[in-house]
Structure 1
């Protein structure tokens, strides 16, 4: 049964549909809370397992009376050959089954259309993850404006747009550096560092990427988890590239989490091989600094634990190192004043969380937008140091990538990021200023606060038939 709401007919109603993946669900849940705080009715549509994941993030907001509803649809897993519980990208056993997962996701179109038939009040817009291209057909059928959520920043979006338009990377060898055209600064990358939609060695989802790009064309606008002061030149150029101003930077949305409990509900998708984790551990030990190392319970955990025990690593480092097995509250940890550096794979959520906490980064990108984000962090913003990984690995195959970075490089990069000299202090001052800018952007009168207002008013005018 479609959710029913009471209230004035003119009240806006946003239907939000995230991609089933922690890095996409979490920021969309934060967005839902921010929009609901402005009086917008929110309906989040996802699957059973993901409802369980969303509720800790916005459960308190719902209990406090904010107009947020969560509707769950059943993902047809068995029909596409997936085991029970594979309702999110991070739960898929291997990349070879990603196609099955997206086939199951595509089957949500009919139940979504049945849901929209009776939904009251009529949706003012659909805000959907860009990786769900079939939403374009649904929005068109019901004549509902469609907004995209990308999950990355304008730097990445502009880089991707420029490469798709220019194709300069196509003729380059995997290891040959080329300049990304049309950017405010000189940014060089190799083909081997590009995300799967641009990387010829990762073309197993070529058709899906083509559908995603095609579906972007008909969208009314795009909502971005960033703030204008962070990447102002790239926001400006991306708006130019899109041909209009329907680009709203409303982040960092993680700053909507005020309490320690709210800050605790965050996660990550990246994995390293046991051999690479051993090199990382030995690099942490060699840097001779206090550290906190989170070891997730993924493939190879037994092999890593065997090494920790037999090598005596934990015993040797227990006076200055803490190992956390499984899940850890990343945002809460980053906000602790004792944290002086953060080793990150440069996912956009983690990058923003480090910036908001004012913590310099050691960058270790693996796939997707992560090499672009590293360029932003290290070269443009100058708030991090790269550990030196040069090759992207396909999502879902990162646990097979072997040893990409040696312990010596880990030690050297950590020591550099933690240096007490002029360079280190200047880096820390830059990120402290960015953290303050992030807070100001999300507060009343700030750029992101105002962009939420502009977004809401734009959709309101659209519903009234007024040209925005």
Structure 2
């Protein structure tokens, strides 16, 4: 009984992508705030980017461990994240990541005071469950994807023996989904996903997912059951193991006038937003990894110009390793033409502060799940432009939820026009016909932005981890369902 009340020691080990490292670190802080020891492990440069400084009140419990990323041919020496390299070279980053198996195993074996109870890990760590179980450490797979996406990918056996080999195989609903669904890829989306050669690292992404899920003792989801109840029930059946919703880990937006006064970049952004009408601004950002062609950028730019609405467009500076993207430029004279209506911002921005501002009326997004969560926390309607990975599947799910509109594109090649961008933006943000979308998005803020409810889901997860810290649990349950039943 005393052991059940003792604090946990949880090791966190995310994949090398900002969209994974950040929520893993967010969960780490949530666990430490509840009195549990957390060891957060990543590579040196990624820790410098994300962690910065552990809050003083959490320092005794939240420990940061950095591993040097092993050197690999065809991977630039300072590339430690998927944002540092072209998408087509992601497999080389996975080769380097797999070489962390030995130092991580040594850490788990030698760690004490206390010994780790759980390791929370990501999809790429296909070798980790076997190593951890051999050392008596329980394993939690942390999915940063929706339940709908994971159900589309399939159960572990299907992932390990994936028969889908051509793009067309991914444009239909798989046989293990028993209900009507539109959650599937467009042909142009899956073609882009298949561009990276899966054999380079020796293990396909499907096999990584399959082994990581199959070897886990429990699967954690960064989502709320209420948002996709049917999909949560389905993944529980497909995985045949506990599936726990930990909530969306809503971002905190701290408005501190003293701190903000020293942040000149945010002050300039806020001053511009303050001058705009309420819910009139289109915020545009395509994440840290998505890259688009020159033609696509031109059409997007012209569409924003045509829509006539004020916009704030974040264009991330490309790393020097993405040489093929460096020549992409805005149309001639564009910034001069839109200077009274739009802002082109190159570099990092405080996205949650922008989305929380009352002048923002819509979010033109790639539909990465992190960005979607941030938008719906503040009830922002979505203009959806998926680029790669799970973003197309997210878009179909969000369409079914009626919280946004997808920019129409050619099914096969993904082409689109500036007119389709303009019309989609106006429909979502200002049209009378789009009011139902805006209403639905606003309603989502009561679910995604409910800190009390999301905090309770983390508490429920902690209770499960404490109760099942040793060995595998044979119980099958989904936290968060009690309130629906």
TM-score range, shorter chain: 0.7 to 0.9
Identify the residue that residue 300 of structure 2 maps to in structure 1.
Answer: 280
Cα distance in 2, alignment partners of residues 464 and 53 from structure 1 = 34
Cα distance in 1, alignment partners of residues 386 and 324 from structure 2 = 20
Q: How far 1:252 moved relative to its partner?
A: 1.5
Identify the residue that residue 86 of structure 1 maps to in structure 2.
Answer: 79
Identify the residue that residue 4 of structure 1 maps to in structure 2.
Answer: none
In the alignment, does 2:343 pair up with 1:349? Answer: no
Does 1 or 2 have the higher relative contact order (CA < 8 Å, sep 6+)? 2
Runs of 4+ in 1 over 6 A off after TM superposition: 166-169
Equivalent of residue 210 in structure 2, options 210, 213, 220: 213
- Indicate if the aligned counterparts of 1:17 and 1:45 stay in contact, CA closer than 8 A: yes
Equivalent of residue 240 in structure 1, options 237, 243, 246: 237
Instruction: Mark the runs of 5 or more structure 2 residues left unpaired by the alignment.
Output: 261-265, 267-285, 476-485
Q: How far 1:90 moved relative to its partner?
A: 1.2
Equivalent of residue 446 in structure 2, options 433, 436, 439: 436
Q: How does 1:34-433 map to 2 (within 5 A)?
A: 34-56=30-52, 59-62=53-56, 64-65=58-59, 67-77=61-71, 79-93=72-86, 95=88, 97-120=89-112, 121-161=114-154, 165=158, 170=164, 174=168, 178-181=172-175, 182=177, 184-187=179-182, 189-190=184-185, 192=187, 204-205=198-199, 207-209=203-205, 210-244=207-241, 246-256=242-252, 258=254, 268-298=288-318, 303-305=327-329, 307-308=330-331, 311-378=332-399, 380-389=400-409, 404-421=415-432, 423-433=433-443
- The DSSP-based 3-state class of the residue aligned with 2:250 is helix
Q: How far 1:240 moved relative to its partner?
A: 2.3
Q: How far 1:108 moved relative to its partner?
A: 1.0
**Structure with more of its chain in helix, by fraction:** 1
What TM-score does the superposition give when structure 2 sets the normalisation length? 0.81
Cα distance change of structure 1 residues 49 and 230 upon mapping to structure 2, 3 Å threshold: same
- The DSSP-based 3-state class of the residue aligned with 2:97 is helix
Task: Count how many residue pairs are aligned between Structure 1 and Structure 2.
Answer: 436
In the alignment, does 2:23 pair up with 1:24? Answer: no
320-329 or 165-174, larger mean C-alpha shift: 165-174
- Indicate if the aligned counterparts of 2:310 and 2:342 stay in contact, CA closer than 8 A: yes
Equivalent of residue 458 in structure 2, options 441, 448, 452: 452
- Indicate if the aligned counterparts of 1:131 and 1:212 stay in contact, CA closer than 8 A: yes
- Residues 6-43 of structure 1: CA distance to partner in whole angstroms, max 9, x if unpaired? xx992201000011111110111111111111111110
Cα distance change of structure 1 residues 249 and 294 upon mapping to structure 2, 3 Å threshold: same
Q: How far 1:187 moved relative to its partner?
A: 1.6
Q: How far 1:437 moved relative to its partner?
A: 1.4
Cα distance in 2, alignment partners of residues 24 and 196 from structure 1 = 23
Cα distance change of structure 1 residues 126 and 168 upon mapping to structure 2, 3 Å threshold: closer
- Indicate if the aligned counterparts of 2:28 and 2:62 stay in contact, CA closer than 8 A: yes
Cα distance in 1, alignment partners of residues 107 and 87 from structure 2 = 32
Q: How far 1:388 moved relative to its partner?
A: 2.1
Identify the residue that residue 270 of structure 2 maps to in structure 1.
Answer: none
Cα distance in 2, alignment partners of residues 162 and 141 from structure 1 = 24
Q: How far 1:200 moved relative to its partner?
A: 6.6
CA RMSD of aligned residues (A): 3.3
Cα distance in 2, alignment partners of residues 232 and 202 from structure 1 = 33
- Indicate if the aligned counterparts of 2:312 and 2:342 stay in contact, CA closer than 8 A: yes
